[in-house]
Each structure stands twice: as structure tokens, then as C-alpha cells.
Structure 1
């Protein structure tokens, strides 16, 4: 099993701290706003290695690290 990050799109305020700490470049801006009007981030599951850097840095606790099977989707 692999570990992957998942983000709560409605909690994300688009501060981009996670983008800067992701060692694989798996996190990027979506270009879409959530219900609060923030441009949230998305995760490329193919690039995500589940390291948890995004989980640690996020001031709004938007991330969880989950165990996945297969491609992580």
C-alpha cells in the first residue's frame, strides 16, 4: 500500500504554503474557487509520495494522509 495526501477543498484558503514544501511538486493551484471564494490547491496523485509535508505545514489542517491501493485514486 502507498500513502497519499488528500485535501479538504472547502477548508483550503489557498495560502500556498503546501506548494512550497512539496518535494515532488504534486500540489498545484486549481484555478477554481471553493464556496468561500478561495482558489484551493489540488494534488497530483501520481506525483504524491505521501511524505506528509503538506499535512505538517498547513495552518488550516486541510490535509490528511491516507493509505491507498493502486494509483491512489
Structure 2
């Protein structure tokens, strides 16, 4: 089994391949691509995808608003 980890910057700047097209994140999930840090995935030797993880960047401003509101 192979494990891959690519940052969004690597995928965009180097035109690297990812099993999940990056346009899915903003277009279908409604999440700004600048809020996405990286994607990792595992593939079996026969090419089957066994896992895929999207790593998001936390919104620092939202956390500050929650603390100010006492949440």
C-alpha cells in the first residue's frame, strides 16, 4: 500500500495528480480552497483507493468571535 500527502500549493503549482479534483472542494463542498491545507490518500498496489483525508486550516477569526461571545 502506498501513502501520498500533497499540500494544495503542491497540487496547484506543480500540476500534480490527486484522486479528488480540487474544484470539488469549493464547488461542491462550499469551502474556500485557501482554507484547505493538504490532501492525503492511500492506494493499494492494484490502484484501489482505500482512504482519502482533507486537511483544513482553522479560521482564527471564528475562534476569536466564539471566545468573545463566551462560547
TM-score > 0.5, shorter chain as reference: no
**Which structure exhibits the higher relative contact order, with contacts defined as CA atoms closer than 8 Å and separated by 6 or more residues?**
1
Q: Per residue, is there more helix in 1 or in 2?
A: 2
Rg larger in 1 or in 2? 2
- TM-score, normalised via structure 1 length: 0.29
